[in-house]
A and B are shown apart, each in its own frame.
Chain A
Amino acid sequence: MKEWVHQLNKAFENRVRLGIMSVLMVNEAVSFNRLKELLGVTDGNLASHLRALEKLEYVEMKKTFLDRKSHTTYDVSTLGRKAFTEHLNALESLLKP
């Protein structure tokens, strides 16, 4: 195996980011409030981590209008899915004896 495969991704070291990615990996179009409820973090904290993941293009934000109210949902991008899967593989390989 190539060395880089087992490299942990620094972007996912934070627990909140790990949580965001875990939720988005198995759910489609998750709202901001749903993420907040699941992770139990403050608005500001969640927003800043989401922004960081968006900047890396791991997470995509989508704004839609429901009854004239804006509704923001998040999805994991193809790149994010790949990066997170590699991170998981790295974590697991580090645990193997």
Chain B
Amino acid sequence: MDQKEHIEALKDIRQMMQRSVRFLSLSGLSGIFAGIYALAAAYLAYLKLESGAGRTDARGTLIYLMALALGCLILAIGTAFFFTRKNARKKGLKLWDESARLAFINLSIPLATGGLFAIALIRAGAIGFVAPATLVFYGLALINASRHTFPMIRQLGILEILLGLIAAFVWGHGLLFWAIGFGLLHIVYGLFMYFKFERA
């Protein structure tokens, strides 16, 4: 074996280790769109709250806000699925393999916990803690899943947790922090991933 063969062998090893552990079809475009939906939802929520509906019809406003958040989540997941499937096809990889399954499960556990916890907070009337809690749990979910996808997802998770913690202590700007965390950060990281891994 000569030098070139050794380099090839090492490259093979590295690629096989990566591909068997990490789900690399995740498209940056899904992040960009998720961010746009989140910003739109945050804007609609802002308008609703500014109209003073929160005082005149508290129950209706709460349902409106929850419907907004849920709609935003469903749209984001649908779009992520669409772009990620396209990306997997382009790379000739299977969309749903062992690494995708591991990434999904590890993301889902903290995320579902956070969702249920947020419902408990709403029931207890601690509405102000919903934005910080969802940001913190989402960040933990990303860190948990990052071992099975792009390592930069871990960074995003840390930023989400920091934002959530700040929002928990700086009172009364929940919506703003929520818009930064779910809107702006998704767009920034989505753009970065798209140009780094998909355009080139």
Q: How many residues of B contact A (CB 8 A)?
A: 17
CB-CB under 8 A from A19, the residues of chain B are 12, 16
Q: Quick check: A26 and B94 within 8 Å, CB to CB?
A: no
Report how many A-B pairs have Cβ atoms within 8 Å: 49
Proximity bits, A59-97, B CB within 8 Å = 1, else 0: 000000000000000000000000000001001101100
The residues in B between 63 and 119 inclusive whose CB is less than 8 angstroms from any CB of A are 94, 97-98
Q: Given contacts A27-B20, A27-B21, A38-B20, is CB(A22)–CB(B13) below 8 Å?
A: yes
| B196: interface (CB < 8 Å) | no
20 contacts between A and B (CB under 8 A): A13-B1, A18-B9, A18-B16, A19-B12, A22-B14, A22-B16, A22-B17, A22-B20, A25-B17, A27-B21, A27-B98, A30-B98, A34-B97, A38-B20, A39-B16, A91-B6, A94-B3, A95-B3, A95-B6, A95-B10
Using a CB–CB distance below 8 Å, which chain A residues touch chain B?
8, 13, 15, 18-19, 21-23, 25-27, 30, 34, 37-39, 88, 91-92, 94-95
